[in-house]
Structure 1
Amino acid sequence: MMIDTHLHVWDTAAVRIPWLLDAGLPAMADIPHGQDRRFVLVEADATDPVEEADWLVSLAEKDPRVHGVVVSVPLEHPQSERALARIASVPQVVGVRRLLQDRELFDSALFLDGLKQLVAYGLPFDACVRDHELPRLLALIEKVPELTVVLDHMGKPNVRDVSSRDVWQRNLARLAEFDNVFCKLSGLPAECQNADELERCAPDILDTAIETFSSERCLLGSDSPVSKDSSDWCERVLERLAVSLRPAVAEANAVNIYKRRAV
């Protein structure tokens, strides 16, 4: 069994997500059929996080293939505690993500308070940052070391700059020193210009991430439909692992981190 821990679904007729049009993405993205796997649905930076969270939860309530939902909560807002209290009571909510990439939230005292509230509620935080922002994420984690953090997309390494890749690898190793930081093997196709570039860089980047965090702290994520892979990305990832190590990355780690709450 496999859990794809990073699937984006949306319907712009129901939830406003303005950036999709500029990115050339479709107005609707459904849960894929024909795959023997479960999914964690991840927020897509909608205009109204509450509207999006409610819509995603409604999908999870109807579709048994959905293991859980990672919703967006504006942790930097003074009212975030009320929002967290609301979503923490929803069984289908298994985590929180607030996009950090290209945003000045790292030094926000309110955002830090929000992360501490996540610890109290027992919810993991999905951290989506670019490679040059990894030191700032590290500094944030040092202030809340008890927080469970899932690093999305392996920290978005630069696939075309060798020197940047070396820095990424060192920063990844620093993050891995925290036992409660996990790495989502996802998002690389979106960083590549074409299929040839993906074929060239995927083995090295995946092997580095897996070696750094070990199979006990890595998860699968397709990042579909933002990331597009002509093959099956999740199968591509598993092929980099010894057969004995695949069950942990394919399912067990996801179950342990993204805990489905009892109704």
Structure 2
Amino acid sequence: MIIDTHLHLIYRDRLSYPWLSGVPALDADFTQEAYSREARRLGIVAALHMEVDVAAADIARETAMIQALAGEEGSLLTGAIAACRPESPEFPAYLESVRANPFVRGFRRVLHVVPDDLSEGALFRENIKRLTGTGLNFDLCVLPHQIGKAIALADLAPEVSFVLDHCGVPDIKGGGFDVWKGPVAEIARRPNVTVKLSGIPAYGAEDWTLDDLKPYFAHVAESFGFDRMVWGSDWPVCTLGGGLSTWIGATQALLSGVSLEGKARVFAENAKRLWKV
């Protein structure tokens, strides 16, 4: 059984995605039907939708759209990780509205597309602390040089669960292991941080092989263990690195030496615990 903790759906006729124009390969519709057709064949039984960095005015509409899709017969969607703007004075009111909706399981603010110091602002940090006691997790999407800023947030709110997306976004194609490994090991020392095994095929060369991914997987496994690791498809971004079936196959190969219990934790049990799916 696999729970996908990082699914993106794109409906360009319903929402605005400003960043898509800069990524022609993803500037298309990626629908629930297309995802589910392949996902069911691979053993995926449930999925959390991850916000797709829509225009700020569409944040609430994105959550409403995904919740409506989840209500369709046979949907794999069981919850959403919603977009947010902790740097905004309106965040407290937004947080209260989201807490009233059990479909939302957490938040994400993509930090590698904004100035590095955004997360260091007093208002941003005050609002992150507001997540304490809410049961809502916060996904950290940062580049290797920004992991120190992610560590600061995890230390600021030790009772909040944080998830490091895409193994900390290593530059696999560029051979960025050495500049990535130290920050990842350091953030792993925070017990309130879980790593998400997702995204990494898209960071490799076009002709990447399993051997290219192995040292990165081995390092996150050594740093976090399998009690603090979850799996995500990063669909449709994973199509840039071979697609959903390729990523499932690569993950199974990476986990080939792991116990059945360890695999179950990575693929489903840890997600159940973190997001109550």
Aligned match for 2:130, one of 108, 111, 117: 117
Residue in 2 aligned with 1:251?
268
Residues 21 and 27 in structure 1, CA contact (< 8 A), matched pair in contact too? no
Identical-pair percentage? 31
> Unaligned regions of 5+ residues in structure 1, if any?
none
- 5 Å matches for 1:137-148? 137-148=150-161
Aligned to 2:194: 182
Q: 1:138-165, CA deviations, whole angstroms, 9 ceiling, x for partnerless residues? A: 1222222222100000110121444x42
- Residue 41 (structure 1) aligned with residue 49 (structure 2): yes
Does the 8 A contact of 2:210 with 2:250 survive in 1? Answer: no
- C-alpha distance in 1, partners of 2:185/2:59? 32
Superposed CA RMSD:
1.7
Provide closer, same or farther for how the CA distance between residues 128 and 159 of structure 1 changes in structure 2, counting only shifts above 3 A. Answer: same
Query: 1:215 and 1:243 mapped to 2: Cα distance?
Result: 10
Q: Return the offset for 1:120.
A: 3.0
Matched residues in 2 for 1:19 and 1:170: separation?
30
Gaps of 5+ in 2: none
Which of the residues 232, 239, 247 maps onto 2:246? 232
The match for 2:64 among 50, 54, 57 is: 54
- Deviation at 1:93? 0.8
Cα distance in structure 2, aligned partners of 1:113 and 1:155: 24
Distance apart, 1:198 and its partner CA: 4.7
The CA distance in 2 between the partners of 1:78 and 1:120, in whole Å, is 20
TM-score, scaled to structure 1: 0.92
**Structure 2 residue identity aligned to 1:18:** P
Counterpart residue number, 1:103? 114
Q: Is the 8 A contact 1:154 1:184 kept in 2?
A: yes
Given that 1:238 and 1:250 are in contact with CA atoms closer than 8 Å, whether structure 2 keeps it comes out as no
CA distance in 2, matches of 1:238, 1:86: 39
Structure 2 distance, partners of 1:256, 1:220, is 13
Q: Is the 8 A contact 1:61 1:92 kept in 2?
A: no
